[in-house]
Amino acid sequence: MAGASERNGPAEAAGRSDGSAPGRDPGTPKSPDATAGGADPVVDRGEVSADDGPTVRLSTTDDGPTVPLPGDDETVPIPSAEAAEPPAGPVSAGRRLLPRLTAANAMIGVLLALLGFTLVVQLRTNSTDASLETTRQEDLVRILSDLDAQEERVRQDIAGLEESQRQLNSGAEGRQAALDEATRRADELGILAGTLPARGPGLTVSFMPVSKPVAASRVLDAVQELRGAGAEAMQISGGDGATVRIIASTYFLDAEGGISVSGRRLTGPYMITVIGDPKTMQTALNIPGGVVASVSGDGGNVAIQEREVVDVTALSPPKDLQHARPVS
């Protein structure tokens, strides 16, 4: 080998005048570079470049290119310009691939256009559609179950709140009813105790002296008779216009020139205004030996007038209880 190289060396060196590379010359002079640049590095580095295997087959099928796309050759004139660009790299490969670059580049272009298209579409879909449309099925199922659980909790909350609302409502209604009842009772008791004015059907009973003044006992008899007949509110007024509400504690005394009702001095004629059932009270006053007969026998006169509406307006001041306490 050494002898052969020395033999070839001077022959070549004489022609090239290049003494530094005698060792490379003996083999094939230029073909190793071309083939190594074209085929071998592809095989070696093809696996490094993360592209999948069949590079050997591809490099061997250089001459029968682009079986699927023969028609694209004339449709893509640009690849020739593009192919002129890369000669910085493998010049020989680019020159050799020139005829099929058009079709392959068209394919690449189509693929990349598709990539850009889908990329934009996907980006747009993701950015515009934040809803569940792009969510996977199992994620949807999980979201659905989450929502179900949440709905259940919210339903329980609703039920509890409705229950408390119902309780509060019933409580409020109960309070309102109790308040109404208490108000009604207070009104009744106020009328009975003489602290509230009253209005209703009733009578006016006038005692007019004829021969001698009407005694307080007669007036008291009339009041008792009216109470027994169901009178609910009464007042007595004298001839001077003074009016006294007749309640449970009212007393009647004979006084000079008239009667004293609960300490108030009244002069005749007296008129009792009473609210109650007019027929019953009139009958009670007119019974034989009753109020009317007694007053007439004592030298007086009783006039009873039935009224649709009478007003008992006189009030009795409420009295503070000092000893009695309610028992609850």
Give yes or no for residue 293 binding other proteins (CB under 8 A). no
Q: State which of residues 14, 127, 130, 133 lies at the interface with other proteins (CB under 8 A).
A: 133
Compute the distance between CA of residue 158 and CA of residue 164 in angstroms, rounded to an integer: 10
Q: Decide: 296 and 234 in contact? Cβ < 8 Å.
A: no
Q: Does 60 bind other proteins (CB under 8 A)?
A: no
Strands, sheet with 233-237, edge to edge from the N-terminal-most edge strand:
243-246, 233-237, 270-275, 198-209, 300-312
What is the C-alpha to C-alpha distance for residues 76 and 187, in angstroms, rounded to an integer? Answer: 107
Among 6, 18, 51, 181, binds other proteins (CB under 8 A): 51
Range 223-246 burial, b when 16+ CB lie within 10 A, else e: bebbbebebbbbbbbbeeeebbbb
The residue from 78, 132, 159, 178 that contacts other proteins (CB under 8 A) is 78
Helix (H, G, I), strand (E, B) or coil at 188: helix
Shortest spacing between CB 159 and other proteins, in angstroms: 36
Answer whether 252's CB lies under 8 Å from 220's CB: yes
Q: Considering the rule CB under 8 A, would residue 113 count as an interface residue with other proteins?
A: yes
Instruction: Check residue 139 for interaction with other proteins (CB under 8 A).
Output: yes
For residue 45, state whether it binds other proteins (rule: CB under 8 A): yes
CB of 146 vs other proteins, minimal distance in Å: 16
Interface with other proteins (CB under 8 A), residue total 53
The answer to whether residue 74 forms part of the interface with other proteins (CB under 8 A) is no
Question: Which residues from 2-41 bind other proteins, rule CB under 8 A?
Answer: 37, 41
Contacts of 90 (CB under 8 A, 6+ apart): 37, 38
Residue 63 in contact with other proteins, rule: CB under 8 A: no
Measure the CA–CA gap between 303 and 256, rounded to whole angstroms: 24
**Smallest separation, CB 13 to other proteins (Å):** 31
Asked if 222 and 272 touch (Cβ cutoff 8 Å), the reply is yes
Residue 49 C-beta-side C-alpha neighbours within 13 Å: 10
| Residue of the chain from 12, 25, 73, 82 that contacts other proteins (CB under 8 A) | 82
The reply to whether 245 sits near other proteins by the rule CB under 8 A is no
Q: Which residues are CB-contacts of 313 (< 8 A; sequence separation ≥ 6)?
A: 197, 235, 243
| Interface pick for other proteins out of 13, 34, 107, 196 (rule CB under 8 A) | 107
Q: Tokens 């007595």: give the residue.
A: 236
Stretch that binds other proteins, among 50-58, 251-259, 272-280, 298-306 (CB under 8 A): 50-58
- Stretch touching other proteins by CB under 8 A, among 76-84, 239-247, 274-282, 291-299: 76-84
DSSP string, 246-283: E-TT--EEEETTEEEETTEEE-SSEEEEEES-HHHHHH
- Which of 4, 23, 30, 85: binder of other proteins (CB under 8 A)? 85
Q: Are strands 300-312 and 198-209 parallel, antiparallel or unpaired?
A: antiparallel
Q: Interacting stretch for other proteins, rule CB under 8 A, among 133-141, 183-191, 239-247, 295-303?
A: 133-141
Q: With binding defined as CB under 8 A, does residue 271 bind other proteins?
A: no
> Of 132 and 179, which CB lies nearer to other proteins in the complex structure?
132
Residues that bind other proteins in the complex, under the rule CB under 8 A:
37, 41-42, 45-46, 49-52, 54-55, 58-59, 61, 65, 76, 78-79, 82, 85-86, 89-90, 97, 100-101, 104-105, 107-122, 124-126, 133-134, 136-139
